[in-house]
């Protein structure tokens, strides 16, 4: 792939490379049936590595401090799964590939910022549009949920038309909760990377509404955190009118969609998602000191049928990896607070603390890489005289500029 650019300095080929890699990493799909395997995850990582390789080689990448911190954590993870509590070799490769991809995408963004942000915005838009069409078809045309995930990936999604008196939508994803986790993570990354503009506010509000429309229980959490995060980042750039409109739309939808009654019914009884989370947390709390020190290991869940990833990425890393993985993770978390201060850092840490992803998933590490970068680093142009910023755009506010 040659480094050819249009007169405007935008490479369609590099945009497509980012889009393919981000689509595969932010749209987890899986095999169905009793013999389901991890093969789709291995294929997704492999294809994403092929797509990113030209950008890595042509971008003259030099590892920055955030990447070095995540690479240190990757080293401790590999040490734990190879030496302390071994797992199958192919799983070690999957862990290494996903974290390496996160670093590669983050570093390539500095050489190809416009392409990265365009690809990310395009993928967010595709997700929002797909879920919106699914909702419109259900309420106004078919009165049944059209399974977009099955159309694209060939396996049925876990959506339902009557789940505690409400329909649940997932768009391209396998289930509503997956949509809320991955699309919210995309929007958070976009907020850190992209400069402020009115168009981006519209995209952000549309994304937040789409997260609500999934009717996943986790959507309330992510909508709240995203509103706080975006509000703080752009607090000096958005006016009172934009804030009132955004909050009015969110509040109106929550009450008009029967979502409150759904949540009260769901959590007033036996909710499986909540029980899995509590079971996982209790398993860790009940473990002995030695087991907490060395960690449960990353090969299998420490509790039967508890879906241990539901306890969040941070607790997964700490409980499974023990002190070996906790130390480099603590450095990452401390840097977040040192860079951004108590308020913004709290909003940031809430995402990996709650996010229901596997501990090795690239999306959460891409987010953390941006979260441990200073505003000066994110605004820096690697190639002198490279592409100009969007006309009339304003850099996000609310971050400490030092470090």
Report the distance separating Cα 110 and Cα 373, nearest Å. 12
Report the distance separating Cα 321 and Cα 246, nearest Å. 41
Q: Which two tokens stand for residue 190?
A: 């976009």
Secondary structure letter of residue 394 according to DSSP: B
Does residue 70 contact residue 369 with C-beta atoms inside 8 Å?
yes
For 155, the 3-state DSSP assignment is coil
Q: What share of the chain is helix, strand, coil (3-state, %, to 5)?
A: 65, 0, 30
CA end-to-end span of the chain, whole Å? 36
Q: What is the dihedral of CA 145, 146, 148, 150, to 10 degrees?
A: 90
Report the distance separating Cα 82 and Cα 233, nearest Å. 40
Report the distance separating Cα 80 and Cα 325, nearest Å. 8
Along the 403 residues of the chain, how does pLDDT read in single tens digits?
455 555 468 899 999 999 999 999 999 876 655 556 778 899 999 999 999 999 988 877 788 999 999 999 999 999 999 999 999 999 999 999 999 999 999 999 999 999 999 999 999 999 999 999 999 999 899 888 999 998 888 888 888 877 767 788 999 999 999 999 999 999 999 999 988 888 888 899 899 999 999 988 888 889 989 998 988 888 777 777 777 777 787 788 777 776 676 566 666 555 666 667 778 888 888 888 989 999 999 988 888 878 888 899 999 999 999 999 999 999 999 999 999 999 999 999 999 999 999 999 999 999 999 999 998 888 864 443 344 343 333 343 333 333 3
216 by Cβ neighbours in 10 Å (0-12 / 13-18 / 19+) ranks as buried
């Amino acid at each position: 792939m040659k480094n050819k650019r249009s007169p405007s300095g935008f490479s369609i080929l590099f945009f497509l490379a980012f889009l393919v890699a981000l689509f595969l990493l932010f749209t987890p799909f899986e095999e169905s049936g009793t013999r389901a395997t991890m093969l789709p995850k291995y294929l997704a990582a492999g294809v994403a590595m092929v797509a990113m390789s030209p950008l890595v080689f042509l971008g003259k990448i030099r590892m920055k401090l955030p990447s070095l911190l995540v690479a240190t954590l990757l080293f401790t993870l590999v040490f734990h799964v190879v030496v302390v509590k071994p797992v199958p070799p192919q799983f070690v490769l999957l862990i290494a590939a996903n974290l390496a991809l996160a670093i590669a995408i983050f570093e390539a963004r500095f050489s190809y910022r416009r392409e990265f942000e365009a690809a990310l915005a395009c993928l967010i838009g595709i997700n929002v549009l797909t879920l919106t069409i699914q909702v419109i078809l259900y309420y106004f045309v078919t009165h049944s949920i059209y399974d977009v995930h099955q159309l694209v990936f060939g396996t049925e999604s876990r959506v339902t038309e009557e789940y505690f008196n409400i329909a649940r939508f997932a768009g391209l994803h396998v289930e509503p909760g997956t949509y809320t986790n991955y699309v919210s993570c995309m929007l958070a990354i976009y907020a850190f990377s992209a400069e402020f503009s009115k168009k981006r506010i519209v995209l952000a509000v549309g994304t937040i509404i789409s997260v609500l429309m999934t009717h996943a229980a986790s959507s309330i959490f992510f909508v709240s955190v995203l509103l706080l995060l975006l509000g703080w980042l752009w607090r000096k750039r958005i006016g009172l009118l934009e804030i009132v409109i955004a909050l009015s739309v969110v509040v109106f939808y929550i009450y008009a969609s029967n979502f409150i009654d759904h949540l009260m019914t769901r959590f007033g009884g036996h909710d499986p998602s909540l029980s899995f989370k509590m079971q996982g947390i209790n398993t860790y709390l009940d473990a002995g000191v030695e087991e907490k020190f060395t960690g449960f290991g990353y090969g299998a869940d420490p509790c039967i049928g508890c879906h241990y990833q539901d306890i969040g990425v941070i607790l997964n890393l700490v409980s499974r990896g023990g002190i070996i993985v906790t130390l480099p993770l603590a450095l990452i978390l401390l840097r977040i607070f040192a860079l951004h201060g108590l308020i913004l850092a709290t909003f940031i840490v809430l995402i990996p603390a709650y996010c229901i992803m596997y501990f090795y998933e690239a999306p959460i590490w891409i987010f953390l890489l941006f979260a441990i970068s200073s505003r000066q680093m994110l605004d820096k142009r690697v190639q002198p005289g490279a592409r100009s910023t969007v006309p009339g755009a304003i850099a996000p506010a609310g971050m400490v500029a030092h470090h």
